[in-house]
Each structure stands twice: as structure tokens, then as C-alpha cells.
Amino acid sequence: MDDIIWSYREGNDWMRESDLVGFDVEATDGRIGTVDEASTEASGSWLVVDTGSWLTGKRRLVPAGTISGVDLDGRLVMVNMTKEQIKAAPDYDKDTWDDDTRVEHADYYVPYSGTGGA
């Protein structure tokens, strides 16, 4: 299950065609921020979302498996989560990212990956 949360969904040709940095990010209930970083590593893909002022400027790491769609023309990434669910997610700090924090994030995000997890 851990690999699924860190992988873009199959059939997403946009993944190979574009860099998502700078795209707006929209939760199921509205805009949450902008993609600040993006990884496309196999079984380790994620976005770092700059949440701006609505979450006191925190950055959230969002695994690729939570992405429900991408609008290339509109420069928009849609995630299968509400603003509150993202707000409640574990903090992300690039300097302390390790296997333990990766597991913590995966455990939190699996229910939002569309895989029928926990």
C-alpha cells in the first residue's frame, strides 16, 4: 500500500509532459496553495504545496497518490482531500525528512489516495 500512495495514478500522460511547479492546487473544497516542489521518482513521487496565508504559510508534502486530476491548460492540480484534511496532515520539513517521516505521511494520506485504504 505504501508504494501506491507515492505513485501517480496509471494513465496520467500529463506526468511525463509537464513540470507541476507553479501550478495552483485545489482541494475538494477550494484552493489550498501552489506547487513549490515536485518529485517524479518511481514509488516516491510527491508535491510540496506552499499553503500561503490560509495555513500560516506552512508547506505540506502531498503524496502523488492523492492527486485526482491535473488541468494542464488551467495550470491546476486537484487533490482528493479537503482543506481541513490537508491542514491536519503531518508537518513537512525537508531537513528532517527520513524513512520514519515518510511512513508517518503515508499512514496519514492512504485514506485519501483513492485506493480504498484505511
Any domain includes 28: yes
Any domain includes 52: yes
Any domain includes 117: no
Any domain includes 74: yes
Any domain includes 39: yes
Backbone angles phi, psi at 93, to 5 degrees: -135, 115
3-state secondary structure of 17: helix
* Contact present, 67 and 8 (Cβ < 8 Å): yes
Calpha distance 50→25 (Å, rounded): 9
pTM listed for this prediction = 0.83
Triad 30, 110, 22: Cα angle to 5°:
40
Any domain includes 46: yes
3-state secondary structure of 53: helix
Q: What is the pLDDT of residues 28-81, one digit of tens each?
A: 999 999 999 988 776 688 899 988 876 676 889 999 889 999 998 999 999 999
Calpha distance 79→95 (Å, rounded): 25
The domain that holds 95 is classified in CATH as 2.30.30.240
Domain extent for 35: 2-110
What type of residue sits at position 109?
A: Y
Element (H, E) at 90: none
* The pLDDT of residue 117 is above 90: no
Our count of domains for the chain comes to 1
Q: What is the pLDDT of residues 69-114, one digit of tens each?
A: 999 899 999 999 999 999 889 888 889 888 898 889 889 988 887 6
37 strand-pairing partners:
48
Any domain includes 87: yes
Any domain includes 115: no
